Amino acid sequence: MNPGSKPDGIWRTPDAYPFHLPLVPHYSHLDTERHVNNVAVQSFHLEARTRLLMDTLDRPVWYSDDVLLRPRRTLTQFLGETHYPHPVTATAAVLGADADRVHLRTALFQHGDCVGVQDCLLGAWQGDRWVALPDDVSRALGERPLEAVWPAETALDAGAFTGYPLQVPLSARYVDLDPDRGLSELALARYAEQARAGSLTELRQPELGLLVARIDLSFGRWDLGMGDEVRLATGLGRVGNTSFVLSGGIAVDGEAVAAAESVMVLLDRRSHRPTPVAPYADAMATLRIG
């Protein structure tokens, strides 16, 4: 299974993953659709990844005063809804590595079903740039070649973000910082969520629901803290029969920090089944990129 493709049978079973971690959803994880919010789901993947690294590496993982182990990219697929308060089993595996990157896969299981999979391309960040993985990390994780074929990546360019039709300023908060005093992975995921939510007002109708099927996040830098202004840029990309793609960018003080591509599915609330996007295309036209 390459990132972006639907998981096949083996990757939908807990036995495919050597690392297992029990987790419990919290009431605070629920969203307005009354299931576990997409960012909370991403936090489960992050916890599984972090704990796998803590079990595998000798160096500190959840904090560092030198080299940070941070995602260069995460691709999260939501295969089912995650519900409160039922326990979740988070699993993780190392799929390959080279001198600069490690491919990690995590999966979540609830009631025996695989409800989500995340592929993470992990790198090493030092100062103001990506660097080669530390030798001890390469030795511990680099036994298999990096073979996966990833989908084309959204350009990380603050200048390009200015061409997106919706531009929204946002103030970063102290709570958005991680233990290394930079904007956290989940804060950036939350910013991407805010960009999506702020662009879909025309679709907020009693008979319609929206689900996120896939979120592709590319991370450009990890050396910026709260900054004076966060700017969210959003535009409508591909439109399918019952789904559409929102592209977004996150800039801090004019510097591109992350880019997101989110596949959204439109639902009929009565049947809880996908419903055609076409009747709402005109209402969404102002969001189109280009």
Sequence spans of domains, the chain: 1-151, 153-290
Domain 1-151 matches domain 153-290 at the CATH topology level: yes
Q: Which residue has the higher pLDDT, 133 or 147?
A: 133
Report residue 282's pLDDT band, with 50, 70 and 90 as the boundaries.
confident
Q: Which residues pair with 74 in a beta bridge?
A: 120, 217
Please give the pLDDT value at position 144.
79
Identity of the highest mean pLDDT range in 82-86, 141-145, 228-232, 274-278? 82-86
Q: Does domain 153-290 have CATH number 3.10.129.10?
A: yes
- Taking the domain 1-151, which CATH number applies? 3.10.129.10
Question: Which of 218, 265, 203 is CA-nearest to residue 79?
Answer: 265
Structure confidence by residue, pLDDT tens digits, 167-182: 999 998 999 999 999 9
Mean pLDDT of the chain: 92
Identify the DSSP state of 254: T
Does residue 9 surpass a pLDDT of 90? no
Separation of alpha carbons 236 and 248, rounded Å: 9
Instruction: Answer yes or no: are the C-beta atoms of 135 and 100 closer than 8 Å.
Output: no
Separation of alpha carbons 53 and 69, rounded Å: 10
Separation of alpha carbons 13 and 114, rounded Å: 7
Instruction: Answer yes or no: are the C-beta atoms of 38 and 215 closer than 8 Å.
Output: yes
- Helices (H) and strands (E) in the chain — how many of each? 5, 12
Average the pLDDT over each of 65-74, 183-192, 232-241 and give the range with the smallest value. Answer: 232-241
